[in-house]
Amino acid sequence: MNHSKFNALLILVGIALFQDVIAQEEFDGSPSLVNITDNVYRTVHRPAAANSVVIATDEGLVVVDGTCRGEGDSAWLKEELGRRFDVPVKYVVLSHDHEDHICDLHVFDDTAVTISHALTRKHILREKRNTSIPDVIFQDEMEFFLGGKQFILYYFGPTHSDNLIQIHIPDEGVLIAPDISRSGKSLVLPDFRDADVNNLIDTLEKLSNLKNVDIVVPGHRGTTTQDRFLDYQKFVMALRDRVLEQMINNASIEEILERVTMEDFSDYGNYDLWLRSNIISMWDNMYRYREPNVNSNGAGSYQSSYPIGYPIGGYESGSQ
């Protein structure tokens, strides 16, 4: 490693450590509510717990998401809001159906209307999520007003899950974008399990270009900025293209894991922890995205090599 590369590495390690120290310092053993702007707050729970965001207006409060990593966080939030504000929670907004981000939010059902994407409600009912069942659902975009503040809910199609939305409060310059953004550079997610990778890439571009956004609130940890959408997009595009290239060259999943190291992204948070699951789940996404060519012995696309537990190969003909 040359000198300047080594120096750059030191700086990056320093930044990563610094960010970690901030995250640890924020949580002092009991949950708290911290200001993001004058009227927007974020809960600080144990490290890595999902963010809950509160928007205060003269006519009532809006709560976006909640967490249950550790018991009673939403119950704590309800108590804390009662202590701080003399207006009730009027709306609860669910960013997506993943329980980690929405649990126990039924504690606000006595005063609040719960809003989500239409598909979120379906997942909540099917999986029997521990949360408030949405009263109001929408398909593409929704707006509501409270205390003179505008709230815009965006759905750009399937990205991370098929029902993730973003919540924009233009008057505050705040965009709440759980699980599609993260503080600093990061892999963002452990895997692409229920993701639509190509639409995720397009949506990251759209989010980076939204007007009236000064602060982005990710799903976990502290606030971030709009340009970080593009850092994540860069990683997802590179991973997709490199895995695809290997698949087109008939590499096995073991060979892909060996060859696609993504070392140029090794300064991204969670690189060590999540790279393997990112590669495997990207492979799985691309397996379902493409049809290989017929090879010289004529079998080609009809011989599947799906490697995880159940090889679904063996078809001699009839591939659709």
Least Å distance between CB 190 and Zn ion?
Answer: 10
Least Å distance between CB 189 and Zn ion?
Answer: 7
Question: How many C-alpha atoms does 127 have within 13 Å on its Cβ side?
Answer: 17
Q: Which stretch binds Zn ion (CB under 5 A): 78-86, 150-158, 173-181, 298-306?
A: 173-181
Q: Which stretch binds Zn ion (CB under 5 A): 85-93, 174-182, 201-209, 258-266?
A: 174-182
Least Å distance between CB 306 and Zn ion?
Answer: 25
Least Å distance between CB 255 and Zn ion?
Answer: 30
Residues 108-147 that bind Zn ion (CB under 5 A): none
Contacts of 122 (CB under 8 A, 6+ apart): none
Find out whether 114 and 134 touch, Cβ atoms under 8 Å. yes
Nearest Cα residue to 217 out of 15, 36, 18, 94: 36
Least Å distance between CB 117 and Zn ion?
Answer: 13
Backbone angles phi, psi at 164, to 5 degrees: -70, 135
Measured from the CB atom, the residue of 172 and 179 that comes closer to Zn ion is 179
Indicate which single residue of 97, 172, 179, 196 sits in contact with Zn ion (rule: CB under 5 A). 179
Q: Which stretch binds Zn ion (CB under 5 A): 93-101, 169-177, 237-245, 272-280?
A: 93-101
Q: Which stretch binds Zn ion (CB under 5 A): 113-121, 175-183, 232-240, 282-290?
A: 175-183
Interatomic CA distance for residues 276 and 253, integer angstroms? 11
CA angle 168, 180, 278 (to 5 degrees): 175
Interatomic CA distance for residues 189 and 182, integer angstroms? 9
Interatomic CA distance for residues 186 and 299, integer angstroms? 41
Measured from the CB atom, the residue of 172 and 284 that comes closer to Zn ion is 284
Least Å distance between CB 256 and Zn ion?
Answer: 25
Nearest Cα residue to 178 out of 116, 114, 111: 116
Least Å distance between CB 95 and Zn ion?
Answer: 8
Q: Which stretch binds Zn ion (CB under 5 A): 53-61, 172-180, 237-245, 301-309?
A: 172-180
Find out whether 37 and 57 touch, Cβ atoms under 8 Å. no
Q: Does 98 sit near Zn ion (CB under 5 A)?
A: yes
Measured from the CB atom, the residue of 98 and 228 that comes closer to Zn ion is 98
Select the residue whose beta carbon is closest to Zn ion and give its number.
98
As a whole number of Å, the end-to-end CA separation of the chain is 49
Least Å distance between CB 157 and Zn ion?
Answer: 16
Count of residues in contact with Zn ion, rule CB under 5 A:
2
Measured from the CB atom, the residue of 51 and 132 that comes closer to Zn ion is 51
3-state secondary structure of 32: strand
Find out whether 127 and 108 touch, Cβ atoms under 8 Å. no
Measured from the CB atom, the residue of 162 and 179 that comes closer to Zn ion is 179
Measured from the CB atom, the residue of 114 and 120 that comes closer to Zn ion is 120
Nearest Cα residue to 209 out of 234, 175, 158, 256: 175
Find out whether 59 and 149 touch, Cβ atoms under 8 Å. no
Binding region for Zn ion (CB under 5 A): 98, 179
